[in-house]
């Protein structure tokens, strides 16, 4: 059996690597790099970020929409970024936010998690608003092929709050229900760190969502993909205060604060973020 995604993530944590660099080739970001808004330049940006990140960060997280907007040329660019990342030994989280029922979700999993797929990543972001049971379409990949999932739980966009604060049959908020479900799925697999994680925004008050962040639970650590650090305003120095017991599984996700300074500053921005993370976890 292939090493689990959680096991590979645990190795990154043990090596002191918790930074997840987002690759989001906005038109404005390409302009900051003095590049035209084209698929070829999205590829160039992505591959240069991968080169700077190799051996320095836990993972990269390409935001698929910023490649997809170029159509087939964007997917070719994305495949090349993925290939470079695999060659560099970087974990890749495909930020695709897919979700559906039955065979449709299984097809999404085939696209993004199936070994040998041109779009093969180590993990993908998903939503479970049609029920946690719909994630079963990826179970073969998480249990047999070392892949991971990050399920949207409490996100920073204000439009999501009304949905994520809704209460489900268990009495939990939807956000907490997703976290509970991730814990249950990881418990079945075992290991130090689970392969099913959640997305929790670093700029939101998790207590507002009734997220259980104060209790240490038995079983694997739940990976937490935490966007919102850097450009969006959250401070890495507050990671333990923000996430409490969940901090053990946090991947510090930064995109614009790493990439927007231009090609010449990516390496130094990664180094600075790593320094801040190391201080926060010392």
pLDDT tens by residue, 234-245 = 899 999 999 999
Query: Token digits for 108?
Result: 């999404």
CA dist 225 and 251 (Å) reads: 5
23: closest CA among 81, 86, 88? 81
Q: Which residues contact 173 (CB under 8 A, 6 or more apart)?
A: 164, 165, 166, 167, 209, 210, 211
pLDDT at 140 over 70: yes
CA dist 236 and 243 (Å) reads: 11
Can you spell out the DSSP letters for 142-185?
HHHS--EEEEEEE-S-GGGHHHHT-B-TTSSBHHHHHHHHHHHH
pLDDT at 233 over 80: no
Distances (CA, A) of 244 to 133, 162, 275: 28, 24, 20
Averaged pLDDT for residues 127-133: 93
pLDDT at 76 over 60: yes
Q: Which residues contact 187 (CB under 8 A, 6 or more apart)?
A: 219, 220
For residue 158, name the pLDDT band (cuts at 50, 70, 90).
confident
Active site (annotated) includes residue 97: yes
Averaged pLDDT for residues 83-93: 97
Averaged pLDDT for residues 135-163: 94
Question: What does the pLDDT look like over 42-75, one tens digit per residue?
Answer: 999 999 999 999 999 999 999 999 999 999 999 9
**In the chain, % of residues over pLDDT 90:** 90
A 10 A CB-CB count for 88 gives: 14
Q: Which residues contact 117 (CB under 8 A, 6 or more apart)?
A: 110, 111
Q: Which residues contact 219 (CB under 8 A, 6 or more apart)?
A: 183, 186, 187, 194
Helix (H) or strand (E) holding 251: strand 250-254
Please state, rounded to an integer, the average pLDDT across all residues of the chain: 95
Whole-number pLDDT of residue 1: 47
Q: Which of 61, 97, 114, 161 is catalytic?
A: 97
Question: What does the pLDDT look like over 172-223, one tens digit per residue?
Answer: 999 999 999 999 999 988 899 999 999 999 999 999 999 999 888 889 999 9
Averaged pLDDT for residues 113-133: 96
* Helices marked H in the chain: 5-14, 27-32, 39-53, 65-68, 72-88, 102-113, 139-144, 161-164, 174-189, 239-243, 256-259, 266-280
**Whole-model pTM?**
0.96
CA dist 147 and 78 (Å) reads: 19
CA dist 131 and 120 (Å) reads: 25
């Amino acid at each position: 059996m292939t090493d689990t995604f959680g096991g590979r993530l645990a190795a990154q944590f043990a090596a002191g690597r918790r930074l997840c660099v987002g690759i989001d080739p906005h038109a404005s970001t390409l302009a900051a790099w003095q590049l035209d808004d084209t698929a070829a330049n999205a590829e160039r940006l992505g591959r240069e970020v991968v080169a700077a990140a190799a051996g320095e960060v836990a993972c990269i997280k390409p935001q698929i929409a910023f490649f997809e907007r170029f159509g087939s040329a964007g997917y070719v660019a994305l495949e090349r970024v993925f290939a470079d990342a695999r060659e560099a030994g970087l974990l890749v989280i495909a930020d695709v936010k897919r979700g559906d029922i039955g065979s449709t979700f299984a097809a999404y999993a085939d696209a993004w998690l199936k070994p040998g797929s041109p779009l093969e990543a180590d993990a993908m972001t998903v939503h479970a608003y049609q029920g946690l049971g719909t994630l079963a379409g990826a179970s073969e990949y998480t249990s047999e092929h070392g892949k991971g999932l990050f399920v949207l739980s409490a996100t920073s966009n204000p439009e999501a709050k009304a949905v994520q604060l809704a209460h489900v049959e268990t009495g939990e908020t939807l956000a907490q229900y997703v976290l509970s479900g991730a814990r249950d799925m990881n418990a079945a697999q075992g290991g130090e760190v689970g392969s099913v994680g959640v997305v929790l925004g670093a700029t939101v008050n998790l207590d507002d969502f009734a997220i259980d962040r104060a209790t240490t639970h038995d079983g694997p650590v739940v990976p937490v993909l935490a966007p919102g650090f850097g450009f969006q305003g959250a401070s890495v120095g507050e990671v333990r205060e923000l996430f409490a017991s969940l901090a053990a599984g946090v991947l510090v996700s930064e995109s614009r604060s790493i990439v927007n300074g231009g090609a010449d500053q990516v390496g130094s921005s990664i180094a600075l973020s790593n320094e801040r993370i190391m201080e926060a976890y010392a």
